Each structure stands twice: as structure tokens, then as C-alpha cells.
Structure 1
Amino acid sequence: MKILEIREATLPISSPIRNAYIDFSKMTLSLVAVVTDVVRDGKRVIGYGFNSNGRYGQGALMRERFIPRVLEADPASLVDEAGANLDPHKIWNCLFTNEKPGGHGERSVAIGTMDMAVWDAVAKIAGVPLFQLLADRYGNGTPDRKVFVYAAGGYYYPGKDLAKLQDEMRGYLDRGYSVVKMKIGGAPLADDLRRIESVLGILGNGQRLCVDANGRFDMDTAIAYAKALSQYPLFWYEEAGDPLDFELQAVLRSYYPGPMATGENLFSMQDARNLVRYGGMRPDRDWLQFDCALSYGLVEYLRTLDMLRQHGWSASRCIPHGGHQMSLNIAAGLGLGGNESYPDLFQPFGGFPDGVKVEDGYVTMPDLPGIGFEGKADLYEQMRKLAS
């Protein structure tokens, strides 16, 4: 059993939208195919992966360092003890060879993308959905077949007035979501409060709103928003300041009693540990948004979950960023609190397999081998092109 080839393509996911920090007009991602010599049901097993939005494609790093390391390794060093499957942990160690600790920047995205493809292949070789494989290996064997999801949107773009913002959010609610998210920090506070109130005005019973500043605020601005937002029953106040400014995050708890969320731009277990040590996050109400596709993959995410347990956190307080099916499988298999979703944006990489619908804020996981990419026709067409 061995990996025959690893392919990467850099693809556009550009969109004329912006948050408080960046616009997405030139956004790209890497799509990866890990081609194995294993055949299941008459077809060669190929694992697929891609990185989340907000970070760019990582093809150069993959081709220069990470792909050669795997292909040059002894194939026997990359399989499990029984020789029956690839071993994601051994492959991860191979990827990280000659990498110094620290500096968890773009390389964490490159490795995370390849790690996703490896886990997809591993579950396909085992002949089970990834969420079941994870529940069997790291849980009690029984996955959560129903997973909470929320709809992320509410970006700024030219000509988007309050009526258009309301129409966007109504569209998510009409499709079964109970929690929606919008951006803040890209307009003056008074304007953002009008935007928030316009969305709150269309929510029904049991429906909630999250707001996301994308790390834009300094301390004074973060506190000013915290004071103003405290009047609203928000689901959470997300990423007020720079993701590595743990003091800012810790100070905010004195000004904002409601739930806060952050972590999507922390790319290692060590950075996640610093957040829970020094960021003042409260395990009874706050949410952690670490995204495996950006932070060295599921192998590292398992280390992060172990660390969280040691610090008194439940995995159910994790709702990953990214809106991809990898995190959806992790949520179902390892008991996370849910997953982000992009119903209309960053297609075809966002969303669920065809036929999977949101009902009362939850989706039910389909029985598809691996991560389930083949069940989403428009996405699998892109993957098929890369692998063919």
C-alpha cells in the first residue's frame, strides 16, 4: 500500500465582498488529490482536500517541501502497524520533517490541506464515513448524526443596504438555519448598530444572530463595541481584536458578559493553549473556532482537543471556522458543538452533499465513504478534473 502521486491546483474563490479586514476579490485556495494504489469497488482510492477561505492557495510550499517528503519516504513508513491502511499520524510526521517549531503561518495551511486529503483516503480505504472512523478510533463508537450548523454571511459590498442585508438573512432562515452571522467593524459603530438591529428585527422565536469583527479592533474600539453590543441577545461576539492579542480578549470579559468566540486564526495546538491560558475565555459560555484545514489538519486538531480537556474545556464548545465537510465530519465523530456554513459563498467548496438539508439548524450526516465530497456534484467535478 502506498501513495502514488499527490497533485495540487490553485483555484479562485474570488467574490466582490469584504469583511472588516480584507476583500475577497483575489482569494484562492489549494485543491489537493492524494492518489493511492488501493482499489475499492473497482475504483482507485483518491483522497481530496482543500484549505478554507481567508487564506490563499499554498501550492508553492507543497511542491517545494511537503509533497516531495511524502513521495520520497519509504512507503512502509507511512502505513499502520497492520499494513492495512495509511497512517495519518506517520504521514503528518513525515510532512513536518525538518520544520522548526513555531512560526505557524502558511505552512500550517499547506499541511492542513494535505492532511485533509489523507484522512479522506484513510476513511475510503476503511470503507466508512470519516465521522464513523473518528468515533470508532477516538470516541465511543457512536457519532452524532445530527450536527448544528449556522449560516455565515452578512459581508459588506457596494450597494448593499439594510433591505438587502435583511433579504440575505431571510434566505438563510428560510433554508432551515436558526443562527445567522454577519460582519461588523467595516463601518462606523453607529452604522453597524443599525445593521445589527435590522437583522434582529427579522428573527423569529429561537433564531439568533452572531457578529464577527474579523480581528479589526484595537482595545478601545473592542470595548466600545462590547458595551454597545451588550444590549442585544447575540449568539456571540466574534474575534474582536488581533487573534494573538490575548490580553485584549481577556479584558473584554469585563465589558461583555455574553458569549464570545475566537480562534479561527490560531494555527497550532500551542497557540490554542495560549488562548485558553491567557485569553480569558470562559468554558461555560464562550466558543472556540479552530479550523483544522488552516491549522496543520486533524492530527494537530486531536492534540488541541486533548489539550482543551486538560484545561477543563468540552469539545462541545468548539464550532470550527471554514464551512467545509471535513470539520462537519469532525463535529459528528468527535462531539464538537457544530460547524460553520456558507450557503451562498465560496462555492463549490462550501455547503453539504446534494440532498442534505438544514432542519431547525441541524443537518443529518449522510452515509458516504470518506469525507463525502463525492456526494456534492459541483465540488466533485473540480476534484475529478484534478485527479483524472
Structure 2
Amino acid sequence: MRIVDIRERTFPISSPIRNAYIDFSKMTLSLVAVVTDVVRDGRPVVGYGFNSNGRYGQGTMMRERFVPRVLEAEPTSLLDETGDNIDPAAVWAAMMTNEKPGGHGERSVAVGTIDMAVWDAVAKIEGKPLFQLLAERYGDGEPDRRIFVYAAGGYYYPGQDLGALQDEMRSYTDRGYTVVKKKIGGAGLDADRRRIEVVLDVLEPGQRLAVDANGRFDRDTALAYADALAQYDLFWYEEPGDPLDFELQAEVAAAYDKPLATGEDLFSMQDARNLIRYGGLRRDKDWLQFDCALSYGLVEYLRTLDMLREHDWSPRRCIPHGGHQMSLNIAAGLGLGGNESYPDLFQPFGGFPDGVEVAGGYITMPDLPGIGFEGKCDLYRLMADLAG
């Protein structure tokens, strides 16, 4: 048993939308196929992965450093103790050979993308959904099949008026979502307050709004927004300042009594630990958004979950960024609090397998081998073409 090839292709996911910090007019991502010599149903088992939106494709880094290290490793060194499957931790260690600690930037995206594909292959070799495999290896064997999801949208885009924003948010609740999210920080406080209020006007009882500043604010602006947002019953106020400014995060937490969310731009267990140590977050109300596809993959995410438990944080406080099926499987298998969803954006990489519907803010995980990419036809067409 061995990994015989790792292939990468960069795809555009461009869009005229923008948040408070960046626009997506030239956004890309990397799609990866990990090809094994294991045969199921007459075909080689192939695992797939891709990185989350907001960080660009990492093909050059993969091809120059991480892929060669895996393919040049002794094949048996990448197997688990049974010799019957791949060991994701061993593959991860091979990728990180000769990498200095620290500097958890773009390389964490490259490694996390390949790691996703490895786990997809591992679960397919086992003949199980990834969430079931994770529940058996790291939980009590019983996954949470019913997962909370929220609809992320509300970006700024050319020509959008308040009516169009309302229509967008209404389209999400019409599809079964009970929590929707919109961007702030890209139009000024007065304009953002008006945008919040028109969205709240179309939400019904039991439906909530979250807002996301994408790390845009300095101290004074973050606190001014916190003061203004306190009058609304928001699901959360997300990433007010630079993700590594833990002092600012702690100041906002002290000033804002309602839920905060952050963590999507922290790309290692060490950075996540510093957030928990110094960010002033409240384990009974705040939310953590670490995204395995951007932060060295599930191998590292397992370390992050262990760290959280050491600090008396429940995995239920984790609702990962990214809107991809990998985090859905982690949520189901490891007991997270839910997952982000992009109902309309970044297609075909966002969304759920065909036929999976949102009801009352939740989806039910289907029984598909691996991560379940094969159940999303438009996405799997791209994957199958890459695998050859």
C-alpha cells in the first residue's frame, strides 16, 4: 500500500464581492488529489482536498516542498501500525520535514489542503464516512449526525442596495437557515447600522444575525462598534481586530457583554493557545472558528482540540470557518458546535452533497465514504478530472 501520486490544480473562485478588508476578484484555491494503489470497486482510491476561501491557492509551495517530501518518503513509513492504511500523522510529519517552527502563514494552507485529501483517502480505504471513522478513533463511536449550520453572506458588492441585501438574507432563511451572517466594517458605522437593521427587519422569531468585521478595526473603531452593536441581539460579533492582537480582543471582550467569535485566521495550535491564554474570551459565550483547511489540517486540529480541553473549553464552542465538508465531518465526528455554510458563494466548492437540505438550521450527514465529495456532482466532476 502506498501513495503513488499527489496532484494539484489551481482554480479561480473569483467574485465581485468584498468584505471589510479584501475583494475576491482574483481569489483562487488549490484542489488536490492523493492517489493511492488501493483498489476499491475496480478503481484506485483517491482522496481529495481543497483550501478554504480567503487564502489563495498554494500550488507552487506544494509542488516544490510538500508533495516531493511525501512521495520521496519510504512508503511503509507512511502507514499506520496495522500496515493496512495510511497514517495521516506520518504523512504530516513527512511534509513538515526541514520546516522551522513558527511562521504559520501560507504553508499551513498548503499542508492543510493535502492533509484533507489524505483523510479522505484514509476513510475511503476503511469504507466509512470520515465522521464515523473520527468518532470511532477519537470519540465514543457515536457521531452527531445532525449538525448546526449558518449561512454566510452579506458581502459588499457593486450596485447592492438595502433591498437586495434583505432579499439575500431572506433567501437563506427560506432555505431553512436560522442564523445568517453579514459583513461590517466596509461602509462606516452609520451605514453598517442601517444594514444591520434592515436585515433584522426581515428575520422572524428564532432567527438570528451574526456580523463579521474580518479583522479590520483598530482599537477605537472596534470599541465604537462594540458599543453600537450592544443594542442588537446578535448571534456574534466576529473578528473585530487583527487576529493576532490578543490585547485588543481582550479589551473588546471586556467591553462587549454579548458573544464574540474569532480564530479563522489563526493557523496553528500555538496561535490558538495564545488566543485562549491572552484574548479574554469567555468559554460560556464566545465562539472559536479555527479552520483545519487553513491551519495544517486535521492532524493539527486534533492538537488544538486537546489544548482547548486542557483549558476547559468544550469542542461545542467551535464552529469552523470555511463552509466545506471536511469541517462538517469533523463537527459530526468530534462533537463541534456546527459549521459555516456558503449557500451561493464559492461554488462548486461550498455547500453540501446533493439532496442534503437545511431544516431548522441543521443538516443531517449522509452515509457517503470519506468526506463525501462524490455526493456533490458539480464538485466531483472537477475532482475526477484531476484524478485522471
Q: Name the TM-score, length of structure 1 as normaliser.
A: 1.00
Paired amino acid for 1:147: I
| Match runs of 1:226-305 below 5 Å | 226-305=226-305
Question: Residues of 2 paired with 1:131 and 1:311: CA distance?
Answer: 25
1:57-206 correspondence runs (5 A): 57-206=57-206
Structure 1, unpaired ranges of 5+? none
Letter aligned with residue 65 of structure 1? R
Residue 42 of structure 1: CA displacement? 1.6
SS in 2 for 1:164: helix
Looking at structure 1, the residues matched to 188 and 307 of structure 2 have their Cα atoms a distance apart, in angstroms, of 38
Aligned equivalents of 1:291, 1:254: Cα separation in 2 = 25
- Tell me which residue corresponds to 2:214: 214
State the partner residue of 2:40. Answer: 40
Contact 2:254 2:280 in 1 (8 A): no
After superposition, what is the alpha-carbon deviation per residue over 1:130-150, rounded to whole angstroms, capped at 9, x for unaligned?
000000000000000000000
Shift of 1:377: 0.2
CA distance in 2, matches of 1:118, 1:180: 32
Distance 2:265 2:254 in 1: 23
RMSD (CA atoms): 0.4
**Cα deviation 1:322-350 (Å, max 9, x = unaligned):** 00000000000000000000000000000
Runs of 4+ aligned residues of structure 1 deviating over 3 Å after TM superposition are none
Is the contact between residue 154 and residue 168 of structure 2 (CA under 8 Å) also seen in structure 1?
yes
Deviation at 1:205, TM superposition (A): 1.1
Equivalent residue number for residue 359 of structure 2: 359
Q: What residue number does 2:347 align with?
A: 347
Q: Secondary structure at the match of 1:181?
A: strand
C-alpha deviation, 1:41, in angstroms? 1.6
In structure 1, the partner of 2:374 is 374
Question: d(CA) in 1 for partners of 2:55 and 2:137?
Answer: 30
Q: Take 2:265 and 2:255, find their aligned partners in 1: how far apart are those partners?
A: 23
SS of the equivalent of 1:180 reads: strand
CA distance in 1, matches of 2:81, 2:142: 25
| In structure 1, distance between residues paired with 2:80 and 2:253 | 45
How far apart are the structure 1 equivalents of 2:254 and 2:298? 34
CA distance in 2: counterparts of 1:366 and 1:37, whole angstroms: 27
- How far off is 1:114 after superposition? 0.2
Superposed CA deviations along residues 130-171 of structure 1, whole A, max 9, x for unmatched, are 000000000000000000000000000111111000000000
**What is the SS of the residue equivalent to 1:201?**
helix
- Do 2:250 and 2:279's aligned partners in 1 also have CA atoms closer than 8 Å? yes
| Partner Cα distance (2:253, 2:379) in 1 | 41
Mapped to 2, the partners of 1:90 and 1:283 lie a distance apart of 33
Partner of 2:387: 387
Question: What is the DSSP-based 3-state SS (H/G/I as helix, E as strand, rest coil) of the residue aligned with 1:194?
Answer: helix
CA–CA separation in structure 2 for the residues paired with 1:169 and 1:60: 38
Deviations 1:187-220 (A, max 9, x none): 1100000000000011111100000000000000
Deviation, structure 1 residue 253:
1.6
Give distance in 2, aligned partners of 1:11 and 1:41: 29
Which residues of structure 2 form unaligned runs of 5+? none
CA–CA separation in structure 1 for the residues paired with 2:202 and 2:257 = 24
Residue 15 of structure 1 aligns with which residue? 15
Q: Distance in 2 between matches of 1:226 and 1:272?
A: 23
**What is the identity percentage for the equivalent residue pairs of Structure 1 and Structure 2?**
79
The count of corresponding residues between Structure 1 and Structure 2 is: 388
- Measure, in 2, the Cα distance between the counterparts of 1:208 and 1:171: 14
In 2, the alpha carbon distance for the partners of 1:169 and 1:208 equals 11
State the 1:254 CA deviation.
2.1
User: How far has the Cα of 1:73 moved from its partner?
Assistant: 0.4
Aligned equivalents of 2:203 and 2:245: distance in 1?
A: 33
Residue 49 (structure 1) aligns with: 49
Give the letter aligned to residue 83 of structure 2. Answer: G
Displacement of 1:40: 1.0
In 2, the alpha carbon distance for the partners of 1:363 and 1:293 equals 21
TM-score (structure 2 length as normaliser)? 1.00
SS in 1 for 2:122: helix
Q: Which residue of 2 aligns with 1:321?
A: 321
Q: Deviations 1:293-334 (Å, cap 9, x if unpaired)?
A: 000000000000000000010000000000000000000000
C-alpha distance in 2 between matches for 1:25 and 1:73:
38
- 2:322 aligned with 1:310: no
Q: Aligned-pair distance for 1:280? A: 0.3
Distance in 1 (alpha carbons) for counterparts of 2:276 and 2:124: 35
Distance 1:43 1:65 in 2: 28
Task: Give deviations 1:26-85, integer Å, cap 9, x for gaps.
Answer: 000000000000011222100000000000000000000000000000000000111110
8 Å contact kept, 2:111–2:296: yes
Partner of 2:272, secondary structure, is: helix
1:61-117 Cα offsets, whole Å, 9 max, x none, are 000000000000000000011111000001100011000000000000000000000
